[in-house]
A and B are shown apart, each in its own frame.
Chain A
Amino acid sequence: MAGIPHSRLRWAIPFGLLAGLAASESGYPPPGAAEKSLMLATTTSVDATGLLDVLSDEFKKISGVTLKWTAVGTGAALKQARDGNADVVIAHAKSLEDDFLREGCGVNRRVFARNFFLIVGPSADPAGAAGSATAAEAFGRIKAGGFPFVSRGDNSGTHVRELEIWAKAGGKPDKGYLETGQGMAETLRVAAERRGYTLTDSATFFGLRGLAGLKPVHENGPELENIYAVIAVNPARVPTAKYEEATAFIAFLTSPRGQKIVGEFRSKSGRLLFEPMAARPGIDLHK
């Protein structure tokens, strides 16, 4: 230990690091003021775009509750909730959500936002998907030409929708079908690198930067509407679920204040990413 003359000082650096870590772990406020927190399992798009960062800051200000979240696909998010690892869920696959509600695991589902799915692909569009009338027709052209298609492959809301469209197009392709098993952002990067097509939510696609060479080739069809809902985990089924905080979060998200944040949230390139939906009459019944 040349350079550090006093042996006592040798402990200064590791001890300082440990103290720093301990402080950052406990954070402010200091221990004693019991901190309320809420665990959210969410689809990746609301996290990858940065929307949750804004929402959680505002929610903390209003309620004093710290929102923590894991961003996974809708299927995995619902599974985490069933296993007692989340108190509230954000999902966007109606069929999976219905199962969750029917099992009694979820209560108080509220639709709070929507946007659209897009089929994106290489800007040269070798499959000629851009001229298609429907999403299924675009998928059919990609399959017929044997061009690479990158799938989430993770039972997420986007994956569920993709499989619905493939079913209409006569089944998944045998050739060029790549499954990443990962989030939307990673899957888009694979599509950009492998010069392939993929189905994406518009928020993640327009929220990301550096997706060189990918452009939307099909959008705005009725089969591409993407509805986001928030669901509380039922404490009667999952005793550890923090129902009070969960309903407070749902109330906040669907309140005028929460909806204003959702509706005004922009990507780094200045694009509006979500359309607030909580105040649409009847929306919970149909979507």
Chain B
Amino acid sequence: MIFRELGLAIWISFKTSGLAALIASFLAVPAALFLAGREFRGKRAILLVNQTWMAAPTVVIGLLFYSLLGRSGPLGGLGLLYTQTAMTIGQVFLVLPLILGFSYTALRQVDKRARLTALTLGATRRQAGWIVLREARFALLTAVLAGFARAISEIGIAMMLGGNIRHATRNITTSIALETAKGEFRNGVILGVILLVITLGTNILVQSGLRTKDGE
């Protein structure tokens, strides 16, 4: 019985955080490609804001979306607070700057000549962009996985926007907090180990992705 509870919490963590990392990637990677490809006024400012945002505490993001999504907030009519959707939205905004920053660095490291050669050989801008993305694919995957690891291990957003509702928004981290508060350390420890295994596995993938890239 208890394993069904814990299993559900693990599934909810994977679902909300995996979705958050994917959505954030679809926004962040094109933005990084745009930024990496050209120089313009204000680009430094954008990167600085991104850098700052990367360090935003989860509770601040939680507070921001709590006030937006709550019934008395501007988007309150959607009734999204305390749902999995709200958790995913919050986590998208948590990991977006992280994935953007990592992707930007990865794309900048691609040899400039790759893009120039493609353009000289008659590729369109779009095709040249694809070539740059292909060159950096392992590092980009690393960025996405790092975003996923960040999302799945955070608690502030999950607690504030999910509300820790049993079978609905109770994920690994909010379960650990609850089990500890109840004095059920055994369950907390089981979940803690599982969370560590997940982040360890993700980091091994990240490492091997980086190594493959180095080996090329």
Contacts and interface: CB of A to CB of B under 8 A. Distances in A.
B181 to A, nearest CB: 6
Interface residues of B, number: 17
Contact of A79 (B72, B164, B165, B182): B182
Nearest to A72: B181
Contact of A213 (B71, B181, B182): B71
B72 A179 contact: no
Interface in B147-192: 163-168, 170, 178, 181-183
B163 A76 contact: no
A95 B81 CA distance: 35
A179 B163 contact: no
B166 A181 contact: yes
Interface residues on chain A, size class:
20 to 34
Interface string A53-86: 0000000000000000000100110011001000
Interface of B, secondary structure class, is loop
A83 B183 contact: yes
Contacts of A182: 163-164, 178
A80 B181 CA distance: 9
Contact of B178 (A80, A83, A181, A192): A181
A164 to B, nearest CB: 20
A155 interface: yes
B65 interface: no
A62 B82 CA distance: 44
Contacts of A190: 82, 163, 165
Interface of A: 72, 75-76, 79-80, 83, 153-155, 178-182, 186, 189-190, 192-195, 210, 212-213
Most buried by A among B70, B81, B182: B182
A210 B182 contact: no
Nearest to A82: B183
Interface of B: 70-72, 79, 81-82, 163-168, 170, 178, 181-183
A181 B5 CA distance: 13
24 contacts: A75-B182, A76-B182, A76-B183, A79-B182, A79-B183, A153-B166, A154-B182, A178-B165, A178-B166, A179-B166, A180-B165, A180-B166, A181-B164, A181-B166, A181-B178, A181-B182, A182-B178, A190-B163, A190-B165, A193-B79, A194-B79, A210-B72, A212-B71, A213-B71
A182 B178 CA distance: 8
B185 to A, nearest CB: 10
Nearest to A182: B164
Nearest to A210: B72
Most buried by A among B70, B82, B164: B82
Given A153-B166, A179-B165, A190-B163, A212 B182 contact: no
A219 to B, nearest CB: 23
Contacts of A194: 79, 82
A182 B72 CA distance: 22
Contacts of B81: 193
Given A75-B182, A179-B167, A193-B79, 20 more contacts: A76-B183, A79-B182, A79-B183, A80-B183, A83-B183, A154-B178, A154-B182, A155-B182, A178-B165, A180-B163, A180-B164, A180-B165, A180-B166, A182-B163, A186-B163, A189-B163, A190-B163, A193-B163, A194-B79, A195-B79
